[in-house]
Structure 1
Amino acid sequence: MDNFIETLTSKDKNAALPEEDNYFGKLVGSWKLDYFDRNISSSVKGEWHFAWVLEGMAIQDVIILPSRETTTETPHPLAEYGTTLRVYNPAAHAWDVAYGYTGKIIRLEARKQKDMIVLTNIEDERRKWVFVKIEDDCFHWQNVTVKDDGQWHVNADIYAERIQ
């Protein structure tokens, strides 16, 4: 197992990844989070861990809802244990993204839009995941559906604080 982890993970980004396209680098580390689902009026505490992988040309994460320290025997309606692989695409100057959890894989493309990172679902461009703000010690993420009139309906928010 040590060989797998050693060959998967990287200490830093690859020099071939341009700094202007390094959208996700600030996320590397561990975060505690509050997840708020606006559609079902429910919330949960969670954790999200990010690392450089694949010779520094990708970032992978693991999101855990509820967090391991707050999980209970009773299943939470927002329970999820998933991983995202974000691989830099130099031809597109964007990121190819795959998110998976039990029974589901979602493909997205990530691009910078003003100060936000917008991940658009490949199968349904109305579905977006948005890093609204990423700072050194906190970030804000949203799950969004674009309505017919172009307005964004926010389905869920994550507010995260760095723990490592």
Structure 2
Amino acid sequence: MTVSSRDSMLELLSADGPDPDHAEAMMLYGRLVGTWNISNRYRYPDGQWRTAAGEWRFGWALGGRVVQDVLFCPEFHGRYPGTTIRMYDITTGLWQITWISPKLPSYFSQIGRPDGAGGMIQEGTDSEGSRSRWTFTDVTATSFRWQGFSAASDGEFELFQEMHATRG
């Protein structure tokens, strides 16, 4: 089979729902599938906090074995969004997670898992090798809170970004 057009590639990438063999486990992030309006607060390198509105879209991909999202916040990223791929690893029960934003450029590699309180926690490293932690808390069918932390020089995590999301 030859993929000859962009539409064909997107058809191969997208999925209608979770892989039935692992549907329950896939719902950790699968419950976020859909469109979310976000209020985004981000700390710039100069220490100042800036806010902007945006959109976060989550969808099923690669045979329903992946939850992929596209985060678009025009005031921060211009017209260049970023994407996260979250793959459930059936051998470990954990999630392998990669975020990329080519325009910045920025990427993170993380491991995700339930946080024990109905949310999710992801830990790993950023493109410079610094430790990172992202959390999804207060997750309901209509809203959630996301926070991004990076390790400071003393090893403690510091908040660098926070988003409040509501279903679009």
Same fold (TM over 0.5): yes
TM-score by length of 2: 0.81
Equivalent residue for 1:54, pick from 44, 54, 62: 62
Structural mapping, 1:1-164, within 5 Å: 1-17=6-22, 19-20=24-25, 22-38=27-43, 39-66=47-74, 76=75, 78-79=76-77, 81-102=81-102, 103-115=105-117, 116-122=119-125, 126-146=131-151, 152-163=157-168
Q: 1:148 to 1:20 in 2, by over 3 A?
A: farther
Is the contact between residue 110 and residue 125 of structure 2 (CA under 8 Å) also seen in structure 1? Answer: yes
> In 1, Cα distance between the equivalents of 2:93 and 2:131?
22
Length-normalised TM-score, structure 1: 0.82
Q: Structure 1 residue 83: deviation in Å?
A: 0.7
Identity of aligned residues (%): 25
* Equivalent-residue separation in structure 2 for 1:105 and 1:47 (angstroms): 19
Greater RCO, 1 or 2 (C-alpha within 8 Å, sep 6+) = 1
Task: Please state how far the C-alpha of 1:122 moved relative to its aligned partner.
Answer: 4.1
Amino acid in the other structure paired with 1:83: T
Secondary structure in structure 2 of the residue aligned to 1:42: strand
User: 3-state SS of the aligned residue for 2:52?
Assistant: strand
- The structure with the greater share of residues assigned to helix is 2
* Equivalent residues of 1:144, 1:153 under 8 A apart: yes
User: Matches of 2:88 and 2:82 in 1, distance apart?
Assistant: 20
| Unmatched segments (≥5 aa) in structure 1 | 67-75
Q: Distance in 2 between matches of 1:113 and 1:150?
A: 21
More displaced, 2-11 or 122-131? 122-131
CA distance in 2, matches of 1:9, 1:51: 8
The root-mean-square deviation of aligned C-alpha atoms, in Å, is 2.2
Q: Which sections of structure 2, spanning at least 5 residues, go unmatched?
A: 1-5
Q: Which residue is 1:72 aligned to?
A: none
Distance 2:70 2:94 in 1: 21
